[in-house]
Amino acid sequence: MIDPIELRKGSIFFDAGDEQSYFAIEYFEKDFAVYRNGSFKQRMDSDCFQPVELTPEILEAAGFHWSIYHQAYHFGDFLCNEFYDLNECYPKGFQLSTFKKSTLIGEPFFYLHQLQNLFWCLCGKELVIDLQKLNKQP
């Protein structure tokens, strides 16, 4: 379950009853989040949101690529006009670091909505994620 305070418009999640499809929140209405399921809009209580664990496939759908030179994930050439890397943590999760892992920043994170929130905080814009690509994964 996702802590409701971590959710915002654009957060991507699984429906607790359907962990095969990814959904994005469109807006909030009282105590519910509204998202699109095909051509229908649905309301959901925050207790039903399941987080999407970060994987290399998820990062690729979000525009990150693996850099052999840095041994880390990059977003294009720059992340918000600064040099940042996403480093895999042991045993799981990711942590932001400055260029070439010289300084680790913050705590490790594990889920896509956390990466979306971090990107928003650093860049002031949405991290665009191809939901169609994600939903076609085996």
- For 99-108, how does the pLDDT look when each residue is reduced to its tens digit (9 = 90+)? 666 677 788 8
Q: How far apart, in Å, are the Cα atoms of 135 and each of 19, 26, 39? A: 10, 17, 15
Hunting for tokens 């720059």 — which residue is that? 78
Convert the pLDDT of each residue in 19-31 to its tens digit.
677 788 887 877 7
One domain, residues 78 and 121: yes
Share of the chain above pLDDT 90, in %: 1
Burial string for 121-130 (b: 16+ CB within 10 Å, else e) reads ebeeeebebe
90 backbone φψ class: left, alpha, beta (φ>0; ψ -120 to 50): beta
Convert the pLDDT of each residue in 123-138 to its tens digit.
788 888 877 777 766 5
Cα gap 19→21, rounded to integer Å: 6
Cα gap 50→124, rounded to integer Å: 25
Q: How far apart, in Å, are the Cα atoms of 34 and each of 47, 60, 107, 124? A: 13, 26, 30, 23
Asked whether residue 101 is domain-assigned, the answer is yes
pLDDT of residue 80 exceeding 60: no
Number of domains in the chain: 2
One domain, residues 78 and 118: yes
Domain that residue 20 falls in: 4-50
CA torsion angle for 53, 57, 61, 67 (degrees, to 10)? 110
One domain, residues 75 and 119: yes
pLDDT of residue 77 exceeding 60: no
One domain, residues 37 and 61: no
